[in-house]
Structure 1
Amino acid sequence: MNRQELEARLRQELAIPFYNAKVAEREYSEAEFQEMKAELKADIEQYAHDYVNESNANG
């Protein structure tokens, strides 16, 4: 899949409609997509966790 297809699938599967991946214009394998998806999902979950913890700490 190319960069545009990769971005479209990430947007759809992770429900982030305005996401634009900062990746090279090349062909990506399904394994590379799954790895990127897992990393992005983990980053989003960590960000949400950190945000909630900081919000609770600030009252």
Structure 2
Amino acid sequence: MNRQELETRLRQELAIPFYNAKIAERDYSESEFQEMKAELKADIEQYAHDYVNETNTNG
């Protein structure tokens, strides 16, 4: 899949409609997509965890 298709699938599968990936314009395999998706999901979860913990700590 190309960069546009990859971005579209990430937006749909992770429910982040305005996400714009900063990735190279080339073809990506399904395994590369799954890896990027897993990394992005982990980053989002870590951000949410850190934000919630920070908010709860600071009141």
Q: Same fold (TM over 0.5)?
A: yes
**Deviation string for 1:1-59 (max 9, x for gaps)?**
00000000000000000000000000000000000000000000000000000000111
The whole-number CA distance in structure 1 between the counterparts of 2:20 and 2:30 is 18
Determine if the alignment matches structure 1 residue 23 to structure 2 residue 30: no
Q: Percent identity?
A: 90
Output the TM-score relative to the length of structure 2.
0.99
Coordinate RMSD, CA, aligned: 0.2
Give 3-state SS (helix, strand or coil) of 1:21's partner. coil
The whole-number CA distance in structure 2 between the counterparts of 1:21 and 1:5 is 11
Name structure 1 gaps, 5 residues minimum.
none
